[in-house]
Amino acid sequence: MSSGHGADGRPASRGRRLWALFVSALVIAGCLSLFASGLPDGLERALADLGVESRDAAADEAPAASKAPVARVTALAPDYVWPGLADVPAQSVAGIAGVLVTFGVAWAAGRVLAQKGAGRP
Amino acid sequence: MHIPDGLLDARTLAGAAVLSAAALGAGAASARQNLGERRVPFLGVLAAFIFAAQMINFPVAGGTSGHFLGAALAAFACGPGAASVVMAAVLVVQCLLFADGGLLALGANILNMAVVAPWTAWMLHRAISALPVPAGVTASRVARGAAVFIAAWASVVVAAGFAAGQLALAGAAPLGLVMPAMLFWHALIGVGEGAITAVALAYVRGLRRPARAGVVATREGGDE
C-alpha cells in the first residue's frame, strides 16, 4: 500500500478510494451480513451466564407488537429484518438501508459542525 | 455490547445520558475546531462503514460472538471528538431503526461506545507512542501496527468494563460477577477489534493522509 502512496494522495484518487469504502460498506451490510454469526454477543453471553434476563430479551421471543410502544414506532426493521420481505432480502435491505441512513446522519452532523467551524477564525 | 432496555435503572440511565450528552457536546465542539467542509463526506462514509462492519458478528469461543466496534478506527481516522460524533450516529441509527441497543439505554451505549471507547484508544495510543523506544522501532510498520492493535483491543475491553459498571450500578448483576464476565468475553472480542482496526486503518489513512509532498499537504492542512 505504501508503494502507491504518492498517487493515493491525489484528490481524485482519494475520491475513488472513498467511494470504494462506501461501496464496501454496502456490500458488507447487504451481502456479508448474511453470513454473520447468530451466537450471543459478549454482553448477552455474560448476562446469560449470570442468569440475568432483560425485559427486552424476553420481548425478543414475543411478537414485535408486544415491544415497547416507542420502539414499535421508530424501529422500522427490528433486529435488522426489513418487514414484509423473505429472510435473505429482508436482511440485505435492512443492512443497505442502515448504511445509507447512517451515512446521511453522520454527513448531516459533520455538515453542521463544519459550517460552525467555518465561522471561526 | 449494546445494552438493551430493561436492565438499567432510572438513576443509571439518567446519569449515563447526562454524561454522554456532555461528552458528545465537548467532542463536537473540539471536532468543529478543525473540521473542514471537505472532510464531511469522509465522516459519512466512515460511519456507514462502521455500521456495516458492526453487522458482522464473528464467533470467538464457547458459543459466543462479537463484532467490530470501530471506535478506535474512528478515533485514529478523525480524532476522538469527531469519532464520538461518528459513533453516536451509528448508535442512534442502530437504536432507532433496528432496535439494536435500548432507546432508554442510548445514553449509556453512547457513553461506552462513542465516548469511552474512542478516548481510550486515543489516549492509550498516545501513551504508547510516547514510550522511550529506539527510533528504529517506532518507525517500523510492525511496531506501529502493534500500537494500533493494543489501543483498539483496550478500547473494547474498557468500554465493556464501563457497561459492566453500569449494570452493577443499576443492580442488574453483582459487580464481582458481571465485571470479570464482561472483561473476559471482550478481551477475546477485542483481538478481532485490534486486527480489523490495524488493517482498516491502513486503508483509511490512504484517504486521510495526502502525499507528503508539500503542495497537497499544505492544501489539506486546513482540513485536519
Q: Closest to B51 (Cβ–Cβ): which among A37, A98, A109?
A: A98
Report the first-to-last Cα separation within chain B, whole angstroms.
31
For residue A29, which residues of chain B lie inside 8 Å, CB to CB? 51-52, 55
> Tell me, what's the pLDDT at B58?
94
Q: Which three cell numbers stand for residue B184?
A: 473476559
pLDDT class of A115 with cuts at 50, 70, 90: confident
Nearest-CA distance B30 → chain A (Å): 10
- Whether ipTM tops 0.90, in short, is no
In angstroms, rounded to a whole number, what is the distance separating the alpha carbons of residues B91 and A40? 19
Of B198, B37, B53, B48, nearest to A22 (Cα)?
B48
Place of cell 478481551: B187
The percent helix, strand, coil of chain A (3-state, each to 5) is: 75, 0, 25
In angstroms, rounded to a whole number, what is the distance separating the alpha carbons of residues B66 and B160? 12
Residue B56: pLDDT over 90: yes
Q: Closest to B99 (Cβ–Cβ): which among A37, A71, A106?
A: A71
Of B14, B12, B16, B34, nearest to B24 (Cα)?
B16
As for how many domains chain A has, the answer is 2
Report the first-to-last Cα separation within chain A, whole angstroms.
36
Q: Is residue A2 part of a domain?
A: no
As for how many domains chain B has, the answer is 1
Provide the whole-model pTM: 0.86
CA distances from B115 to B17, B122, B185 (A): 12, 11, 21
Q: Are residues A83 and A120 in the same domain?
A: yes
Per-residue pLDDT tens over the stretch A18-41:
999 999 999 999 999 999 998 999
User: Which one has a higher pLDDT value, B44 or A121?
Assistant: B44
**What range does the domain containing B113 cover?**
10-221
For residue B13, which residues of chain A lie inside 8 Å, CB to CB? none
User: Which one has a higher pLDDT value, B153 or B204?
Assistant: B153
The strand pairing partners of B58, in sequence order, are B66
Buried b (16+ CB within 10 A) or exposed e, A47-80: bebbebebebbebeeeeeeebbeebeeebebbeb
For residue B47, which residues of chain A lie inside 8 Å, CB to CB? 102-103, 105-106
Q: Are residues A88 and A115 in the same domain?
A: yes
pLDDT class of A71 with cuts at 50, 70, 90: low
* CATH number of the domain where residue B141 is located: 1.10.1760.20
| A4-8 mean pLDDT | 42
**What range does the domain containing A52 cover?**
39-75
**Cβ–Cβ under 8 Å, residues B104 and B8:** yes
